[in-house]
Chains A and B, each alone.
Chain A
Amino acid sequence: MSSSAHLKLTSNSYHSNSCFFSLQELTFLTKQEILLAHKRFTELLSKEEKDLPNTRVSMERILSLPELKSNPFRERICHVFSTSAHQDGSLTFEDFLDLLSAFSDSATLEIKSHYAFRIFDFDDDGTLDCGDLEKLVNCLTGETDDTRLGPEEMRQLINNILEESDIDKDGTVNLSEFQHVISRSPDFVSSFKIVL
């Protein structure tokens, strides 16, 4: 990839209209949202990093954002949107925009369900198997032990879920089955939203 493939959003080209026009083509965000995202992102950078093009922000600093701090899937979200070679969940500004675009109000159901699937796929193998579902339930029921489900309840729950969503009965939920289930849910689009 040539270096021109990166968006130059340093303070010079900040105000260039064509840059924003491209960004609006590429994402679901409006101009104000992109500006706000840029502001919040640069707040995370240290002084030296601000001048470098295309800096990468580590996962810890991203997770300090209030919108992500209380989210049980925050680490998975960072991993999914990260383009880092080291798989460490760090995000560049482009990745950050990607994240906001997928979670924005105007993103389509397909995009949201696609990314939701990738977030829930804890072992990154392309399907949601029992291990993924178990980790998912544990994320949702909180950190402490007294809120977690017992092994018997967990097994029952996973069986029920597979019964409902696994159409081809192979013991895992793949992307199209997941999208089929999600597309019927009336709450998904409105709850799968992050706004700065």
Chain B
Amino acid sequence: MSEGEMARLMEEVEEKKKLIGTIRNKPWRMKRRLVQLREAQQFVDKFEGALGKGKGRKWYAYKVMMTKKWIKFQRDFENFRTACIPWERKIKEVESHFGSSVASYFIFLRWMYGMNLVLFGFTFGLVVIPEVLMGLPYGSIPRKTVPRAEQPTAQDYSVLMDFNGYCKYSVLFYGYYNNQRTIGVLKFRLPLSYLMVGIGTFGYSLMVVIRTMAKNADVGGGDGGEGEFTFAWKMFTSWDYLIGNSETADNKFASITTSFKESIVDEQENQKDENIHLRRFLRVLANFLITCSLGGSGYLIYFVVKRSQDFASRDDLSWYEKNELELIMSLLGLVCPPLFETIAELEDYHPRIALKWQLGRIFALFLGNLYTFLFALFDEVNTKLEEEQAIQNASIWAMKEYYANYTRLLNDSESTPPPMDPSDVIRGPCWETAVGIEFVKLTVSDIQVTYLTILIGDFARAVIVRFLNYCWCWDLEAGFPSYGEFDISGNVLGLVFNQGMIWMGAFYAPGLVGINVLRLLSSMYYQCWAVMATNVPHERVFKASKSNNFYMGLLLLILFLSLLPVVYTIMTLPPSFDCGPFSGKVKMFDVIMETIDLDLPAFMGTLFSYAANPGLIIPAVLLMVLAIYYLNSVSEAYKNSNLELKKKMQMARDEEKNRRNNMDSTNQVMKDLEDLMPNQSLAPPAPPPEPEKTPEPETKPVKTKPGKGVNLQKDVALASPNPGAQRPVSRPPGPRGQGPGAGPGRGRGRGVPPR
């Protein structure tokens, strides 16, 4: 076989392989696909061996076998991965009863659970376990022991519920960890690991959120305007094929009809200009009221935090006074959103816009509350830091006294006295543990309030409506309370903010991530049950269509906002002198400096010092800014050429139609040209010359040989030939080419086709 023949054969084999890889993309009958597949496989098997003649034959055969094995392994791994995804059945049940928008909350919950599980793995494996296994046990050093004064009550249930007593001096909180540079036989560097895990938590979360956002942004084609194809979309995409329940289907029919009728009416009376001044006044009034309530809630929180600081010094507190702060915060989060909704009735917006305003306001509420809480907490931290100085002196004094007493008692100044019993040592206030305790208490009370709300707001309501209906004057089911609907946006926001609190608190309380994992797990089962048992499908099903990325964007924002306080404290506040892995250092990040000096070879130290030079960092930042600017302008250019192509398409079709109908050209440009040359008829070129590169973001570049057109829709002779169709055609469509490759996206909610 000659060289040329061999090359051609190799090309054909490659082509057949590509066909095998993309055969599922073809909209053919199974029979035809099977025949084609068998043919292609036979061809490949027959000729692949022949190609391996001459030198390197064994290597070629080996390569082929390894590729086959690799593909099989990948396929099996994908299957295994899909099988591992939990709760598929549950979510499918919810989907078939309530449609895909309610189910999207549960998919989001599952995604959060996965992320938290990974974070928990990091924290547990790299911080908690080493300290437990290789560090000093409970009771050996002061920071790990309950002080003598607290010991009688340390096991009381109420004290433990407050996360004091034995809870406070356990692995759950920052204060337990020892500041030994290396522990155990393996010389595990715990303080360094603690810091790295703390920062790595944020890094990993950031990476995961951005990756999911990028995947979501792929669907939906980026820049399609909101109102571009309203009617067509309503027609073609509004039915949810996952609905498997006739009641839900009826609801869906009703809502589709309503939305059709509304949009027809909307389209007709676009200029409904009733009383614009009244409307403006009402809107300003509504915004004013809402700003007042936001300010009010912020002040309330500040006030309550100050009060809790006063309470800290007293001992005779009722249950309410002890938990006042957390209760108030959770209640505000419960009461304010419906309040905002009622006030928003004044504004009279279109429901979709009203939803956006509502979400924005709830966001502002939560953010304001959280940050007020943080500022108040910082005040507390500063007072503790001042206190620390005094206590440090006091403890040194106490130590000296203890030694003096000891030597006096034994009349022997030679022997060294044993160290003071750990529970007697005077302790510093340990602000990090205090902050950790606050966050844990907040999370726990948030969990309690959420679960209680579901129990009372949904379950009790459903029970009352169902059973009291038999003996009540009006129809409870159709009329006033009726059954609750599942509040998607409220729940998603709750989840997002809860995660923000976890991110903030995880540095000071490593056990918090574990608590959150348990919470998400139980939430999944509890809410699935509640939704199926007590909720009814929505009456008005209208999707905030790009809401998936909206919530991810919110999560990203919260991530940055919770990163700020933690980084601030790491960089500026001095760690406590007697508790935690950084005790004794001036700043927390000194651990890194220490490690670079002691553990890494010398040249790394000089390297890092160069890298930290402002003279290097500022140009790097400038470079990044320039890169952003450049990418921005490139994307603008793509958008513009998109529009141009669309216009071209339309022009070409107009011309074609006019030619067919023998009419005069309606295109002004062509008309002008024709006027200039009255004797020649200017027929437009048949397929408009296609640009070399298609900047359309939704088409993948064609990976076939040059000269082969790609047109998936040509395979089925249904479409009238459209010369300027979406894909680039360098010549009229010839024999079947290949379509864009399919990605192995599997699993619900993650199987987004790559475009």
Contact = CB atoms under 8 A, between A and B. Distances in A.
Interface centre among B23, B239, B245, B752 (most CB of A within 10 A): B239
A101 B24 contact: yes
Contacts of B748: 105, 195
A5 B34 CA distance: 7
Given A71-B243, A107-B753, A126-B719, A167 B23 contact: no
B238 A184 contact: no
Interface centre among B268, B649, B713 (most CB of A within 10 A): B713
B713 A106 contact: no
B239 A70 contact: no
Given A28-B24, A106-B742, A114-B712, A142 B31 contact: no
Interface stretch (A18-26, A44-52, A56-64): A18-26
A48 B598 CA distance: 79
B241 A194 contact: yes
B250 interface: yes
A127 B249 contact: no
A109 B241 CA distance: 15
B82 interface: yes
Nearest to A29: B24
A174 to B, nearest CB: 5
Interface stretch (B153-161, B172-180, B228-236, B457-465): B228-236
Contacts of A66: 96, 244
A25 B753 contact: no
Interface in A165-181: 165, 167-170, 174-176, 178-181
Interface in B729-755: 739-740, 742-748, 751-753, 755
B248 interface: yes
A70 B228 contact: no
B243 A70 contact: yes
Contacts of A180: 726
A75 interface: no
B224 interface: yes
Nearest to A1: B31
B246 A147 contact: no
A116 interface: yes
A191 B33 contact: no
Given A30-B79, A66-B244, A70-B245, A164 B232 contact: yes
Contact of A32 (B83, B219, B238, B657): B83
A195 B654 CA distance: 43
Given A110-B739, A111-B25, A187 B237 contact: yes
Given A141-B260, A194-B241, A186 B30 contact: no
Contacts of A111: 25, 27
Interface string B685-699: 000000000000010
B31 A94 contact: yes
Contacts of A182: 236-237
A71 B241 contact: yes
Interface in B500-550: 543, 545-546, 548
Given A21-B72, A169-B657, A191 B742 contact: no
Interface string B76-106: 0011001100000000100010001000100
Interface residues of B, number: 91
Contacts of B219: 186, 189-190
Interface stretch (B251-259, B298-306, B599-607): B251-259
Interface residues of A, number: 87
Interface centre among B34, B83, B235 (most CB of A within 10 A): B235
Interface string A134-162: 00110011100001110001001100110
A9 B742 CA distance: 26
B716 interface: yes
Nearest to A139: B239
Contact of B257 (A142, A190, A193): A142
Given A111-B27, A181-B232, A185-B229, A193 B713 contact: no
Contacts of A181: 229, 232-233, 236
A21 B68 CA distance: 12
B543 A160 contact: no
Nearest to A114: B27
B264 interface: yes
B35 A140 contact: no
Interface centre among B104, B232, B237, B239 (most CB of A within 10 A): B232
Interface string B713-735: 10011111010011000000000
A129 interface: no
Contact of A137 (B235, B243, B548): B235
Contacts of A30: 78-79, 82, 746
A31 to B, nearest CB: 5
A185 B653 contact: no
A30 B85 CA distance: 13
Interface centre among A105, A182, A186 (most CB of B within 10 A): A186
B37 A70 contact: no
Interface string A93-133: 01101100111111111110011111011000011000001
Contact of A106 (B96, B739, B745): B745
A143 to B, nearest CB: 8
Contacts of A88: none
Nearest to A159: B231
B703 to A, nearest CB: 15
Contact of B241 (A103, A141, A165, A179): A103
Given A98-B30, A105-B746, A194-B242, A25 B232 contact: no
A7 B34 contact: yes
B273 interface: no
A115 B747 CA distance: 22
A5 B244 contact: no
B733 to A, nearest CB: 12
A178 B236 contact: yes
A183 interface: yes
Given A98-B30, A149-B261, A181-B236, A25 B242 contact: no
Contacts of A165: 229, 232
B220 interface: yes
B267 interface: yes
A32 B82 contact: yes
B326 to A, nearest CB: 38
Given A30-B82, A30-B746, A31-B79, A168 B653 contact: yes
A94 B237 contact: no
B100 A190 contact: yes
Contacts of A192: 237, 241
A42 interface: no
A110 B740 contact: yes
Interface string B308-325: 000000000000000000
Nearest to B716: A114
B705 interface: no
Contact of B34 (A26, A147, A179, A189): A26
B78 A187 contact: no
B75 interface: yes
B20 A25 contact: yes
A55 interface: no
A140 B243 contact: no
Contact of B742 (A105, A108, A168, A193): A108
Nearest to A73: B239
A27 B30 CA distance: 9
Contacts of B744: 106
Contacts of B742: 28, 106, 108
B236 A164 contact: no
A66 B38 CA distance: 35
B29 interface: yes
B726 A97 contact: no
Given A110-B25, A164-B231, A184 B248 contact: no
7 contacts: A22-B37, A30-B79, A114-B27, A126-B717, A165-B232, A183-B221, A191-B242
Given A94-B29, A170-B657, A186-B548, 15 more contacts: A22-B34, A26-B33, A26-B34, A70-B246, A71-B243, A83-B29, A106-B751, A127-B720, A140-B239, A142-B257, A156-B267, A168-B656, A176-B726, A187-B237, A191-B238
